[in-house]
Structure 1
Amino acid sequence: MNEIQFVDSVAELQDLCQKMQQEPWLAIDTEFLREKTYYPKFCLLQVATLEWVACVDPIALEGELEELFAIINDPAIIKVLHSCRQDVEIFYQLSGKLPAPVYDTQLVAPLLGFQENTGYAMLVSGFLNINLSKIHTRTDWSQRPLSPEQLKYAADDVIYLAKIYQMMQEKLQALGREDWLKEDFEQLMNEDLYDIPPENAWLKIRGKNKLTGKQLAIVQVLAEWREQLAKKDNRPKNWVLRDELILDMAKLQPLNLKALSDIRGMNDGFVRRYGKQVCELIDNARGLPGLKLKNKANNKKKPGQEAVLDILTGVVRLRADENSLNPVILATRKDLEKLLLDEQQSSLLHGWRFSMVGQELQQLLQGALSVSVDKKNLRVQ
């Protein structure tokens, strides 16, 4: 591996882009900050192949990244990332496009014996027997200049990623699993994952499942207002208004500044600045139809369904053993409950899990298949 190239001029970026354009795949990572902003602040791009590695300074090159994003969004080049959602969000935010096709090593890991949601450090240790340093985990990547140690720390994320990608591909091909994740990777290119409409922001608030339909309508209105304000001011939404206060406001429904101020934890500055507007929003929301949460009334198992789950679990174990996988990677008990109670929410009806066992389980539940047992085997007929 050559030395790390630090790119902070237009001429250097043009040279790098020419080199990137020739590659069939690129290992990519980003460093960003979002503690004080709604949108992530793009601070560093790391890119590597097996032959070279570079770190691009998007702060120094602000307004000059169009050619770089054209390559990142090039459908002829595979972008290899680990746990790619936040990186893709940055690319989508800045370029307006999704960088298809992507290859997410975190999704691949379970097919090769790792646990679900395996961290990058665990992959590096498992594949390369290298323990990554954590010394710069809390680095402020917006500060300049970056030290040689910081650049090495950042570059390691793609240097090892490139090597792991090659090893993963070889193992998947040996197992005949190289196409199993095609649908999973394609699902990562769904714009809805990265551009949630403000009117749907309430769905991400935890604790709402204990509220009534009328209270949920208030949560929806307040969460939408908060999302729009946070975007406009580029502030973290919890800096505008915390989730727990939205839930308390939905329960207590204050209609004047005094009642709003009396809510525990309510900031006086927030009341002065937004209190009147928020009370009007709550008052208007009180007249809206109540909302319903998906599955709220359909999340209790009926007598006998535990036995059905046991049978489904047996089929999962059978297929996992046939494919040398941990059954928990293929489907947990909770995954099977979702399939039983509400198919639309089940991950077993998508991607490689559907091919391996999901379709079969679905047909069992529909009565199109049956299970027979003898002293040695479980059979699906």
Structure 2
Amino acid sequence: MSSSESEGPQDLPVLDRPAEGIPAVVDTPQALAEAVRRLAEGTGPVAVDAERAQGFRYSSKSYLFQMRRDGSGTHIIDPVAFEDAAGVPQLQSLQEAIGDAEWIIHAATQDLPCLVQAGLVPRRIFDTELAGRLLGLPRVGLGAMLEQFFQVRLLKEHSAADWSRRPLPEEWVNYAALDVELLVELREKLARELEAAGKLEWAEQEFAWLAEHCTDDVAPRKERWRRVHGLHQVRSQVGMAVVKELWTTRDELAARLDKAPGRLVQDAAISELAVLAGTTKPAHVPTKEELRGVNGFKRRTAKQYENNWIQALERVTALTSRELPALRMSPDGPPAPRSWERRHPEAFARWNRVRPATQQLAEKLGMPPENLISPDTLRRITFEPPAFTTEAVDARLEELGARPWQREIVVPVLVELFPEQ
């Protein structure tokens, strides 16, 4: 470890190298067999982490897995080296070696999809970030938690690196190994804190739910193009059509090229061009000249595909008024509570009783309100509650995915506050 001369957390020593040295990358069948053997012979839980290439690649797959277990050391596994013709890593032996162990993952919901995609499915999980949330820790990033519990700093200079790069620089491998260096020890400290706070059973229910549902099919997001940054500035249906066609064109190109969409043309450029559609009345489809006037479309990569963007605009021109997308997407479930006051006054009154009460309860329990009950669950059950009985409310919360510990705490509050006062 090396020391820093700055004040505050910067005074802490830096965790800058694994205790056992930088491990070699596992990228051959022989190296994988040895890693599998050592992991299988290790004891206790397995620390697991994954690195993707977000911001560089279209794919959400992992380009590196880090695993550490007592008695086996740290293993840096390159899943790309073991992909079959369909691009699926063949890591069955690894799954068999660690499948029955508890997997320690920091922010499991981020890494589980790419682990499952590679055929690595945990049966038991301990999520250190979620444990920190249940404990009400002020900061739950891995670096912040290592500072709090081990008084060391973890540098994050390669967190946004292009992990699809090969060969991987040694300093990147060093960084990756450090992400699991203290994860087993952190799990033990957090488990003791949870038990002391009377929250260990709550955490275990949360972890069991994550493991049980990690292979569930995820319904595709509706109208993903509406997530474009700056969409709120677009005020016409023609402008919305411009966003939709440009986004769709960009997404198809990005998928084919395996590039992050923002590396072709940024969201800001799409929304800026779409805004131009509504600056005059009636709204108009932006011209080729207007496209060329937007800075984002002047970038080298964007200009390379200029014909694709122009063709997208031409498709908008051919749309009838009935084919134009709506200004706003139909909500999935109840509308946002801010819109209830005029059209759904009774639901609005319930919301104004229930939401503050659950927030105060979460504060009393020392955790974020969203960990006591998810905002979507609270919105749905408040907008259209079942019969105002303990049994009915409990059943509805269970149907919405609330865990037993959450229902035990929240149901009495909802039953008391739901009826009109």
Range class of TM-score, shorter chain: 0.7 to 0.9
Report deviation, 1:326: 4.4
- Equivalents in 1 of 2:135, 2:290: separation in Å? 57
Partner residue in 2 for 1:376: none
CA separation of 1:85/1:315 partners in 2, compared to 1, >3 Å: closer, same or farther?
Answer: closer
CA separation of 1:306/1:248 partners in 2, compared to 1, >3 Å: closer, same or farther?
Answer: same
Partner residue in 1 for 2:311: 277
- Whether 1:224 aligns to 2:267 is no
Larger mean CA deviation between 154-163 and 300-309 belongs to 300-309
Larger mean CA deviation between 24-33 and 135-144 belongs to 135-144
- Whether 1:55 aligns to 2:86 is no
- For residue 59 of structure 2, the aligned residue among 18, 36, 39 is 39
The answer for unaligned runs of 5 or more in structure 1 is: 371-381
CA separation of 1:170/1:277 partners in 2, compared to 1, >3 Å: closer, same or farther?
Answer: same
Partner residue in 2 for 1:104: 127
Q: Deviations over 1:142-183 (max 9, x none)?
A: 354644x65443322112111112333344345242433133
Partner residue in 1 for 2:228: 205
Partner residue in 2 for 1:13: 32
CA separation of 1:283/1:343 partners in 2, compared to 1, >3 Å: closer, same or farther?
Answer: farther
CA separation of 1:222/1:12 partners in 2, compared to 1, >3 Å: closer, same or farther?
Answer: same
CA contact (8 A) 1:320 1:327 kept: yes
- Equivalents in 1 of 2:377, 2:122: separation in Å? 33
Give the partner amino acid of 1:172.
Answer: L
The answer for unaligned runs of 5 or more in structure 2 is: 1-18, 278-283, 386-396
- Equivalents in 2 of 1:101, 1:191: separation in Å? 19
- For residue 288 of structure 1, the aligned residue among 284, 309, 323 is 323
Partner residue in 1 for 2:415: 363
Partner residue in 2 for 1:180: 205
Partner residue in 2 for 1:66: 90
**Within-5 A mapping of 1:333-352:** 338=379, 350-351=402-403
CA separation of 1:318/1:143 partners in 2, compared to 1, >3 Å: closer, same or farther?
Answer: closer
- Equivalents in 1 of 2:67, 2:230: separation in Å? 40
Give the partner amino acid of 2:50.
Answer: T
Percent of aligned positions with the same letter in both sequences? 17
Partner residue in 1 for 2:152: 130
Partner residue in 2 for 1:317: 360
Report deviation, 1:106: 1.2
CA contact (8 A) 2:50 2:62 kept: yes
Larger mean CA deviation between 263-272 and 6-15 belongs to 263-272
Instruction: Look up the SS of the partner of 2:323 in the other structure.
Output: coil
- Whether 1:261 aligns to 2:313 is no
Give the partner amino acid of 2:292.
Answer: S
Report deviation, 1:221: 3.9
CA separation of 1:333/1:70 partners in 2, compared to 1, >3 Å: closer, same or farther?
Answer: closer
Give the partner amino acid of 1:309.
Answer: N
- Equivalents in 2 of 1:361, 1:11: separation in Å? 58
- Equivalents in 2 of 1:3, 1:334: separation in Å? 44
Report deviation, 1:313: 2.4
Report deviation, 1:67: 2.6
Partner residue in 2 for 1:377: none
Partner residue in 1 for 2:140: 118
CA contact (8 A) 1:37 1:234 kept: yes
What TM-score do you get using the length of structure 2 for normalisation? 0.67
Q: Deviations over 1:41-80 (max 9, x none)?
A: 7553211123332233517834385135751897534332
Partner residue in 1 for 2:185: 163
- Equivalents in 1 of 2:117, 2:354: separation in Å? 45
CA separation of 1:364/1:24 partners in 2, compared to 1, >3 Å: closer, same or farther?
Answer: same
- Equivalents in 2 of 1:224, 1:173: separation in Å? 49
What is the number of residues matched between the two proteins?
Answer: 360
CA contact (8 A) 1:38 1:237 kept: yes
- Equivalents in 1 of 2:295, 2:174: separation in Å? 47
Partner residue in 2 for 1:242: 266
Instruction: Look up the SS of the partner of 1:66 in the other structure.
Output: coil
CA separation of 1:301/1:200 partners in 2, compared to 1, >3 Å: closer, same or farther?
Answer: closer
CA contact (8 A) 2:238 2:316 kept: no
- Equivalents in 2 of 1:212, 1:352: separation in Å? 46
Instruction: Look up the SS of the partner of 1:127 in the other structure.
Output: helix
CA contact (8 A) 2:49 2:105 kept: yes
- Equivalents in 1 of 2:58, 2:22: separation in Å? 31
What TM-score do you get using the length of structure 1 for normalisation? 0.73
Q: Deviations over 1:313-350 (max 9, x none)?
A: 245434653xx424657569988984687579x9x963
